[in-house]
Amino acid sequence: MKRWLFSVIAVIVFAFSIYLYIPYFKFDSTKQLLAFVLLMGSFVLIFVTIYLSLNFQARQKAKTLQNRLAMWTKLSYHVNQVGDEVFNELPIGIIALDDDFEIKWANPHAKSIFDPKITGKDLKDVHPQLHMAAMNNKVQFSIQVKNESYDVTYRPEYRFFYLFNVTEREKIKARYEEQIPALGIIYLDNLDEAIGSMDVQEQSSLKGEYLAAIADWANKYDGFLKPYSDERLIVVLFRKDLNRMIQDKFEILDKVRLISTQNQVRVSISMGAASWDVDYEELGIYAQNAVELAEKRGGDQVVVNIQNQKIAYFGAKNDASAKSSRVGVRINAQTIKDFIDKSSAVYVMGHNQADLDAFGSMIAVYHMARASKKPVFIIFDEYKIDGTVTKVVDLIRVQMPQFMDNCILPANAVKQMTPESLLIVLDSQSPKIVMSPEVLEKASKVIVIDHHR
């Protein structure tokens, strides 16, 4: 109303001003007067149009703001209702702490998780893991409460915990992990050598006894067993069954030892088992690496490689391991020296993909043979050494050129060896993984030094 009054007054003042100024204008004709009146009317019309336009926009903005205010008024009520439901009804545990990590407030779901009388208690008395997380400002983590699993989000700036029950998710995850495939590769160590002197019937009987024991053991854990050579087998199973084998500490090792003892043969098994959530080709590589590690460590054991776990070792109880004592060391050293002294030449060989253990041992035995003034040759193939040995070889070429002069290829060693030559095999007792099986076969006298057994 005030704005309209102001507009009317403005128009009146404008009209009165025109009236007062009319005497000063001289119009020679009615046409000039009408033109002047039309001009003045146009000015008035323009000002009125501008005013109405501005007034309309202002009214539209006011109406929009009123509508928004009405909408937010209605929405705030629903937001408050939703907030109350989130805090009190939804299955989300919420805990509020003070600066001393005392629980000042907890919603009903948090109380059902921990204790109805949780308010006012020290957090470390309610759940030590939550207290440690709050102390360390850990934002995301998981906890166990009364056989239930929870994902926890912590807001350090507000000292609020939010707990989400993920028990079903963890159960599904556990069931999935139980069904991850596992692959085992089994070697019957020294089988051909042990039964080589037996007649055909005895060989078949003893092989059957070993295979029957392994088959019964695999069936116990619902595994699928398949031989792929006389001495090698594979077993396919699930991770849950592999875990059962681990719990039983691979009792097949003891069964095979018992059969060997009863038949007075030196046969044992080496096994590599792997369980990874990968395709079968990659899983086979993991299992093959595991059984090769078992062989490299001396056999009569199981090496288990499970994803996201440390490699585990089982077995290696064979009494072939020598006791570490001064007397034993002296006797063994004297025996080795006697063999060296009686030989025409000494050949030293490690295992395939020789590592620093094998290469360092070869250097030591080289000096032992040199001390006995015997010709000594290191069977060495640069394509069959581990990458860690390459740097050492480069140093030895500079600092010990005479040592490198005595290194020969396996093929040359086979040509040079005589019945009086002595072969010393280092860091392995398995014929399958020596650097050159041909050299081993050619040698008449062999000494094996392996710290794994």
Contact 194, 257 (CB under 8 A): no
pLDDT value, residue 319:
41
CA proximity to 373, closest of 402, 340, 399: 340
- Cα separation of the two ends of the chain: 108
Tokens read off for 390: 């390459």
The backbone torsions φ and ψ at residue 153, rounded to the nearest 5 degrees and listed phi first, read: -115, 125
Amino acid letter at 336?
Answer: I
Amino acid letter at 322?
Answer: A
* Burial tier of 145 (Cβ tally within 10 Å: 0-12, 13-18, 19+): middle
Question: Given the DSSP bridges, would you call strands 148-155 and 140-145 parallel, antiparallel or unpaired?
Answer: antiparallel
Q: Which residues contact 122 (CB under 8 A, 6 or more apart)?
A: 101, 102, 103, 131
Q: Where are the domains of the chain?
A: 2-83, 92-170, 181-315, 326-449
Tokens read off for 268: 């044992």
The CATH number, out of the four listed (3.40.50.10090, 3.30.70.270, 1.10.3720.10, 3.40.640.10), of the domain defined by the range 181-315: 3.30.70.270
pTM of this structure:
0.53
CA proximity to 427, closest of 361, 378, 329: 361
Q: Which CATH superfamily is domain 92-170 in?
A: PAS domain (3.30.450.20)
Q: Which CATH superfamily is domain 326-449 in?
A: inorganic pyrophosphatase (n-terminal core) (3.90.1640.10)
DSSP helix/strand/coil, 73:
helix
CA proximity to 165, closest of 180, 141, 148, 178: 148
Amino acid letter at 49?
Answer: T
Cβ burial 7-31 (10 Å sphere, 16+ → b, else e):
eeeeeeeeeeeeeeeeeeeeeeeee
Question: How would you write the pLDDT of the chain (453 residues) with one tens digit per residue?
Answer: 555 565 666 667 666 666 666 665 566 667 666 766 676 677 777 777 776 777 777 777 777 777 777 665 655 554 455 556 656 667 888 888 888 889 888 888 888 899 888 888 999 899 999 999 989 999 999 999 988 999 999 998 888 899 999 999 999 999 999 999 999 999 998 888 788 778 888 888 999 999 999 999 999 999 999 998 878 999 999 999 999 999 999 999 999 999 998 998 888 899 999 999 999 999 999 999 999 988 888 788 999 999 999 999 998 654 433 333 454 566 678 788 889 999 999 999 988 888 888 888 889 999 989 998 999 999 988 888 877 788 888 888 888 888 888 899 999 999 999 999 999 999 887 788 888 999 999 999 999 988 765
3-class secondary structure per residue, 32-67: HHHHHHHHHHHHHHHHHHHHHHHHHHHHHHHHHHHH
Distance in angstroms (rounded) separating the CA atoms of residues 321 and 335: 17
Tokens read off for 267: 């046969």
Tokens read off for 446: 């062999």
Contact 239, 307 (CB under 8 A): no
